[in-house]
Structure 1
Amino acid sequence: MEVKLSLFGFGNVGRAIARVLLEKKALFRERYGLEFKVVSVADRSGVVWLPEGIDLREALLIKETLGKLSSWTNDYEVYDFTPEKAVREIEADIAVDVTNDKEAWKWQLAALKDGKAVVTSNKPPLAFHYSELTKEAEKRSRPYLFEATVMAGTPIIGILRESLLGDTVQRIEAVLNATTTFILSRMEVGVEFEDALRQAQRLGIAERDPSGDVLGTDVGYKATILHCVAFGPVTFNEAKVRGIAEVTAGEVQRARKKGKTIRLVATVERGKITVEPKEVPLDSPLAVESHENAAVVWTDLLGELVIRGAGAGLKETASGVVSDIIKASMMLED
């Protein structure tokens, strides 16, 4: 079965997905009977569209040497489409959104209305418009998949959506942001907050603008998505969010003396989302290090379920997105 993909976003994550599609082409054909054809790729400079399929090796080369897709003139036409126009004009089976566009919910909705499936790693559309998007997908009988929005490729969304169908989820506690974990870990060995943040930026763990991480917004988005899946639709506006900006080195060291560590913890219960720095015991599943994320899910039947794994990284995020692309393709086949 041939599946046509429109890829929106060709930064680090978009390129990681392109590499997986190239490297595992034979595997996907052999294992699932799927042949992926990327018919369009978009970055901020424009949309490259070729109905016969784009040469992903060439696309990667152009982006990595020239920095933008609009520099690609040989054999390809670059269109100045808005994403909304692109999803309407371009014939594809799945629109893949790996942008950070907060307004992407509008063109995700347009894609669904046009009969396309949507796969995304983009958090704000779900954190603010989950109900609207999932209802439209249901109405059109089209997959709308978003595993990589929470914990990258570690499949917490899949577990909540598909594996605990007889269970009632009671509570989720999770550490969902690698940047804050890194900063708090550095503060445990005496590094001041600002210095720890600068180290994280130098290592590429924190963004140039780290406010989404340190103020807790990123975790707030993820916690909102977990609530939507586990308990039902809410929006980010209903979450109580406090980040780590005010945590002092003294507080971190006092926690260590008590055999505890401070982590930015999301607590999700029905109708209630809280994100705040919390002391957790050193033997707790939430006492994660490095780029690991962890979630503890309590249910009435299973009891305590610990989900732990990579919550960031390019290959890890690509794992979640590509898995959803395959899943969406198989759902379309049915």
Structure 2
Amino acid sequence: MREVRLSLFGFGNVGRAVARVLLEKELLFREKYGLKFKVVSIADTSAVVWLPEGMALREALMVKENFGRLSSWTNDYEVYNFTPEEAVREIDSDIVVDVTNDKNAQTWHLAALRDGKAVVTSNKPPLAFHYAELTKEAERRDVPYRFEATVMAGTPIITVLQDGLKGDTVERIEAVLNATTTFILSRMEVGLDFEDALREAQKLGIAERDPSGDVLGIDAGYKATILHCLAFYPVTFNDAHAKGIAEITPEEVRRARERGNTIRLVAEVREEEITVEPREVPKKDPLAVESHENAAVIKTDLLGELVIKGAGAGLKETASGVVGDIIKASMKLRES
């Protein structure tokens, strides 16, 4: 039985979903993989809670859900005001798990890698701007750096591009990668205008209070940039051309429907070219997804077109990608 020490950064919705999976499937992970996970620290925006002997995840969940912040948790635990980089350097762990929205997290990802710790993340901007630096550092230190949940949540497009097409040359990828815009456009198809559809998405928790990252195409652009790095070579989000859906009118949606089409925010990735823009797609096209589904069509020289489709958002779905990466990183560490 291999014991793996985890430092969890981010204890919002996704972080708590990851904690629940670690709790609920503890026996499965022991029996199937020979892995025992011990969470030695958890960080939210209020504090870092650290116990080298391992923390009680059920108690952590109860504190966060009842009080809203980990700094309220003082019974038997030390509460620290570490920065993420200080926490990474100070806390003895095997894997650093980043499920935050910290746009500058590459600094402490690098600190973790340089300290010989694996990193698992769902955080997109570090990879969209610093992919080459992060992956080269991981390779240099021979430690895992895994990021399945950055694109399509738990639907394994990253794994497909990393491990599944070894003999193929990717020619292009076309994908719908943002569920918020799909929801808004779907609601516009039944008569709502953009603003009303956006307000409904916000009320349901599908869109953020500040929805600009989604509706301006930035989120999809981050994801498309990561796909380019995998399929071709490293670039940054600065090389992407992103246009969102804020200017789409009900009239445009209606005309598309009359032609038997639907409008979706489509990312197209080719060598040296990343574009994100609203496009009409036929109703029977794989990219004509609904709800929180994402889809990608990967065109290669040997296989032709490979369609990968599945949940691109959701707490359990994102936790699937994160926990899967924790297991893969743990097994790699066990081999080394």
TM range (shorter): over 0.9
4+ long deviations beyond 3 Å: none
SS in 1 for 2:31: helix
Quote the offset at 1:190 in angstroms.
1.1
Instruction: Give the aligned partner of residue 247 of structure 1.
Output: 248
Partner residue, 2:115? 114
Aligned to 1:188: 189
Which residue pairs with 1:4 in the alignment?
5
Partner Cα distance (1:331, 1:271) in 2: 32
Deviation sequence 1:148-193 (CA, Å, 0-9, x none):
0000000000000001011000000000111100110111111110
Which deviations, in whole Å up to 9, do the C-alpha atoms of 1:66-93 show, x marking residues without a partner?
A: 1000000111110110000000000000
Q: Determine helix, strand or coil for the equivalent of 1:59.
A: helix
2:61 maps to: 60
Superposition map of 1:1-334 within 5 A: 1-334=2-335
3-state SS in 1 of match to 2:97: strand
What letter matches 1:304 in structure 2?
E
The DSSP-based 3-state class of the residue aligned with 2:11 is coil
Q: Following TM superposition, by how much is the alpha carbon of 1:237 offset from its aligned partner in structure 2, in angstroms?
A: 0.2
Measured after TM superposition, the shift of residue 105 of structure 1 is 0.4
SS of 1:297 mapped into structure 2: strand
Letter in 2 for 1:332: L
CA distance in 2, matches of 1:135, 1:333: 21
**Secondary structure of 1:19 counterpart:** helix
Give the Å deviation of 1:304.
Answer: 0.3
Distance 2:158 2:103 in 1: 21
SS at match of 1:295: strand
The percentage of aligned residue pairs carrying the same residue is: 78
Q: Per-residue CA shift, 1:265-303, capped at 9, x if unaligned?
A: 000000100000000000100000000000000001100
- In angstroms, what is the RMSD of aligned CA positions? 0.4
Q: Runs of 5+ in structure 1 lacking a partner? A: none
In the alignment, the residues of structure 1 paired with residue 161 and residue 80 of structure 2 have an alpha-carbon distance, to the nearest angstrom, of 39
Deviations 1:70-124 (A, max 9, x none): 0001111101100000000000000000000000000000000000000000000
Aligned residue for 1:154, secondary structure, equals coil
The CA distance in 2 between the partners of 1:310 and 1:197, in whole Å, is 20
TM-score of the superposition, structure 2-length normalised?
A: 0.99
Deviation by residue 1:195-239 (Cα, 9 ceiling, x = unmatched): 000000111111111010000000000000000011110000000
1: CA distance, partners of 2:122 / 2:307: 22
Structure 2: gaps (5+ residues): none
Letter of the 2:155 partner, please give it: T
- Which one-letter code corresponds to 2:81 in the other structure? D
Separation in structure 2 between the aligned mates of residue 67 and residue 261 of structure 1, nearest angstrom: 41
Letter in structure 2 aligned against 1:284: D
The count of corresponding residues between Structure 1 and Structure 2 is 334
Partners of 1:202 and 1:95 lie apart in 2 by 33
Distance 1:324 1:261 in 2: 34
SS for the counterpart of 2:298 is strand
- Partner secondary structure for residue 248 of structure 2: coil
